Amino acid sequence: MSESAARRLELRELADEQVTLTALEAIEASQAHGLSQSQLIDVLNDDARCVLGAWWQACESSTCESLDGESPLAELIGFVVLARGPFEAEIEAITVHAARRGQGVGARLLAAAIAQAHDWQRDSGLERLLLEVRASNAAAAALYAKAGFTRDGVRKGYYPLADGGREDAWLMSLPLV
Protein backbone atom coordinates (compact mmCIF):
# COMPACT_ATOMS: atom_id res chain seq x y z
CA MET A 1 0.00 0.00 0.00
CA SER A 2 1.43 3.39 -0.98
CA GLU A 3 1.90 6.34 1.37
CA SER A 4 -1.14 8.02 -0.16
CA ALA A 5 -3.32 4.97 0.38
CA ALA A 6 -6.00 5.05 3.06
CA ARG A 7 -8.12 2.42 4.79
CA ARG A 8 -11.87 2.36 5.08
CA LEU A 9 -14.05 0.10 7.19
CA GLU A 10 -16.87 -1.45 5.17
CA LEU A 11 -19.68 -3.61 6.56
CA ARG A 12 -21.45 -6.12 4.35
CA GLU A 13 -23.36 -9.35 4.64
CA LEU A 14 -21.19 -12.44 4.44
CA ALA A 15 -21.96 -15.26 2.08
CA ASP A 16 -19.99 -18.25 0.92
CA GLU A 17 -18.87 -16.53 -2.27
CA GLN A 18 -17.68 -13.39 -0.45
CA VAL A 19 -15.54 -14.87 2.24
CA THR A 20 -13.80 -18.12 2.79
CA LEU A 21 -14.19 -20.24 5.84
CA THR A 22 -10.44 -19.81 6.29
CA ALA A 23 -10.84 -16.05 6.84
CA LEU A 24 -13.50 -16.60 9.50
CA GLU A 25 -11.43 -19.29 11.15
CA ALA A 26 -8.46 -16.91 11.35
CA ILE A 27 -10.58 -14.44 13.30
CA GLU A 28 -11.93 -17.15 15.57
CA ALA A 29 -8.40 -18.45 16.18
CA SER A 30 -7.50 -15.05 17.66
CA GLN A 31 -10.22 -15.49 20.30
CA ALA A 32 -10.02 -17.22 23.64
CA HIS A 33 -13.44 -18.80 23.02
CA GLY A 34 -14.17 -18.95 19.29
CA LEU A 35 -16.73 -20.75 17.16
CA SER A 36 -15.78 -24.11 15.68
CA GLN A 37 -15.55 -24.75 11.95
CA SER A 38 -18.85 -26.65 11.97
CA GLN A 39 -20.55 -23.80 13.85
CA LEU A 40 -19.25 -21.28 11.29
CA ILE A 41 -20.55 -23.41 8.41
CA ASP A 42 -23.96 -23.73 10.09
CA VAL A 43 -24.16 -19.97 10.68
CA LEU A 44 -23.29 -19.08 7.08
CA ASN A 45 -25.90 -21.48 5.70
CA ASP A 46 -28.81 -20.63 8.03
CA ASP A 47 -31.57 -18.51 6.47
CA ALA A 48 -32.72 -17.36 9.94
CA ARG A 49 -29.34 -15.72 10.57
CA CYS A 50 -27.66 -12.65 9.19
CA VAL A 51 -23.86 -12.53 9.28
CA LEU A 52 -22.29 -9.12 8.72
CA GLY A 53 -18.56 -8.80 8.15
CA ALA A 54 -16.30 -5.83 8.85
CA TRP A 55 -13.70 -5.35 6.14
CA TRP A 56 -10.68 -3.06 6.18
CA GLN A 57 -10.46 -1.94 2.60
CA ALA A 58 -7.19 -0.52 1.30
CA CYS A 59 -7.81 2.51 -0.88
CA GLU A 60 -5.46 3.86 -3.50
CA SER A 61 -7.49 7.05 -3.84
CA SER A 62 -9.78 9.20 -1.75
CA THR A 63 -12.84 7.39 -3.15
CA CYS A 64 -11.82 3.86 -2.00
CA GLU A 65 -13.23 2.33 -5.17
CA SER A 66 -11.73 -0.06 -7.65
CA LEU A 67 -12.71 -0.40 -11.28
CA ASP A 68 -14.58 -3.65 -10.72
CA GLY A 69 -16.37 -2.47 -7.56
CA GLU A 70 -14.51 -4.95 -5.37
CA SER A 71 -11.27 -4.18 -3.61
CA PRO A 72 -8.60 -6.83 -4.02
CA LEU A 73 -7.00 -5.42 -0.86
CA ALA A 74 -9.83 -6.08 1.61
CA GLU A 75 -9.22 -7.85 4.93
CA LEU A 76 -12.00 -9.37 7.04
CA ILE A 77 -11.37 -8.23 10.62
CA GLY A 78 -14.63 -8.96 12.41
CA PHE A 79 -18.20 -10.14 12.14
CA VAL A 80 -21.54 -10.23 13.92
CA VAL A 81 -24.06 -13.09 13.87
CA LEU A 82 -27.69 -12.06 14.30
CA ALA A 83 -30.49 -14.63 14.59
CA ARG A 84 -34.14 -13.88 13.86
CA GLY A 85 -36.78 -15.57 15.97
CA PRO A 86 -40.56 -15.20 15.92
CA PHE A 87 -40.68 -12.54 18.67
CA GLU A 88 -37.07 -11.54 19.28
CA ALA A 89 -33.73 -11.24 17.53
CA GLU A 90 -30.51 -12.30 19.20
CA ILE A 91 -26.91 -11.27 18.72
CA GLU A 92 -25.21 -14.65 18.91
CA ALA A 93 -21.66 -13.35 18.44
CA ILE A 94 -19.72 -10.18 17.84
CA THR A 95 -16.13 -11.01 17.08
CA VAL A 96 -13.26 -8.67 16.21
CA HIS A 97 -9.79 -10.00 15.46
CA ALA A 98 -7.70 -9.56 18.60
CA ALA A 99 -5.13 -7.45 16.72
CA ARG A 100 -7.87 -5.02 15.54
CA ARG A 101 -9.65 -4.33 18.84
CA GLY A 102 -9.93 -0.82 20.20
CA GLN A 103 -10.53 0.74 16.78
CA GLY A 104 -14.33 1.05 16.92
CA VAL A 105 -15.01 -2.06 14.84
CA GLY A 106 -17.15 -3.72 17.54
CA ALA A 107 -19.25 -0.57 17.91
CA ARG A 108 -19.84 -0.43 14.15
CA LEU A 109 -20.83 -4.11 14.06
CA LEU A 110 -23.19 -3.61 17.01
CA ALA A 111 -24.81 -0.59 15.32
CA ALA A 112 -25.29 -2.62 12.13
CA ALA A 113 -26.86 -5.49 14.11
CA ILE A 114 -29.24 -3.08 15.85
CA ALA A 115 -30.20 -1.55 12.49
CA GLN A 116 -30.88 -5.02 11.04
CA ALA A 117 -33.01 -5.93 14.08
CA HIS A 118 -35.02 -2.72 13.61
CA ASP A 119 -35.57 -3.64 9.93
CA TRP A 120 -36.84 -7.05 11.02
CA GLN A 121 -39.04 -5.38 13.65
CA ARG A 122 -40.71 -3.24 10.98
CA ASP A 123 -41.28 -6.35 8.83
CA SER A 124 -42.56 -8.76 11.48
CA GLY A 125 -43.00 -6.99 14.81
CA LEU A 126 -40.01 -8.28 16.76
CA GLU A 127 -40.14 -6.94 20.29
CA ARG A 128 -36.53 -6.87 21.43
CA LEU A 129 -32.91 -7.67 20.67
CA LEU A 130 -31.17 -10.07 23.06
CA LEU A 131 -27.57 -10.95 23.80
CA GLU A 132 -25.46 -12.54 26.47
CA VAL A 133 -21.99 -11.50 27.56
CA ARG A 134 -19.37 -13.02 29.80
CA ALA A 135 -19.48 -11.38 33.21
CA SER A 136 -15.72 -10.75 32.94
CA ASN A 137 -16.03 -8.90 29.61
CA ALA A 138 -16.37 -5.38 31.00
CA ALA A 139 -15.51 -3.67 27.69
CA ALA A 140 -18.28 -5.49 25.81
CA ALA A 141 -20.82 -4.93 28.61
CA ALA A 142 -20.02 -1.21 28.58
CA LEU A 143 -20.39 -1.07 24.79
CA TYR A 144 -23.80 -2.76 25.00
CA ALA A 145 -24.97 -0.49 27.82
CA LYS A 146 -23.88 2.59 25.84
CA ALA A 147 -26.04 1.32 22.93
CA GLY A 148 -29.08 1.09 25.24
CA PHE A 149 -29.01 -2.55 26.33
CA THR A 150 -30.00 -3.28 29.93
CA ARG A 151 -29.13 -6.27 32.11
CA ASP A 152 -32.09 -8.59 32.52
CA GLY A 153 -30.57 -11.48 34.39
CA VAL A 154 -27.72 -13.92 34.87
CA ARG A 155 -27.06 -17.47 33.69
CA LYS A 156 -24.92 -18.91 36.45
CA GLY A 157 -21.93 -20.93 35.29
CA TYR A 158 -22.90 -20.64 31.62
CA TYR A 159 -19.48 -20.31 29.99
CA PRO A 160 -16.73 -22.91 30.41
CA LEU A 161 -13.27 -21.72 31.46
CA ALA A 162 -9.92 -23.17 30.39
CA ASP A 163 -9.20 -24.28 33.97
CA GLY A 164 -12.39 -26.36 34.10
CA GLY A 165 -14.36 -23.75 36.03
CA ARG A 166 -17.44 -21.90 34.86
CA GLU A 167 -18.28 -18.22 34.32
CA ASP A 168 -21.62 -16.42 34.50
CA ALA A 169 -23.33 -14.90 31.47
CA TRP A 170 -25.14 -11.61 31.79
CA LEU A 171 -28.40 -11.47 29.83
CA MET A 172 -29.05 -8.12 28.17
CA SER A 173 -31.82 -6.76 25.95
CA LEU A 174 -32.74 -3.74 23.89
CA PRO A 175 -36.41 -2.92 23.19
CA LEU A 176 -37.16 -2.60 19.47
CA VAL A 177 -40.64 -1.07 19.86
Would you name the residues annotated as active-site residues?
A: 132, 144
Q: Mark residue 42 as left, alpha or beta (left: phi above 0; alpha: psi -120 to 50; beta: remaining).
A: alpha
Of 85, 108, 118, which is closest to residue 12 (Cα–Cα)?
Answer: 108
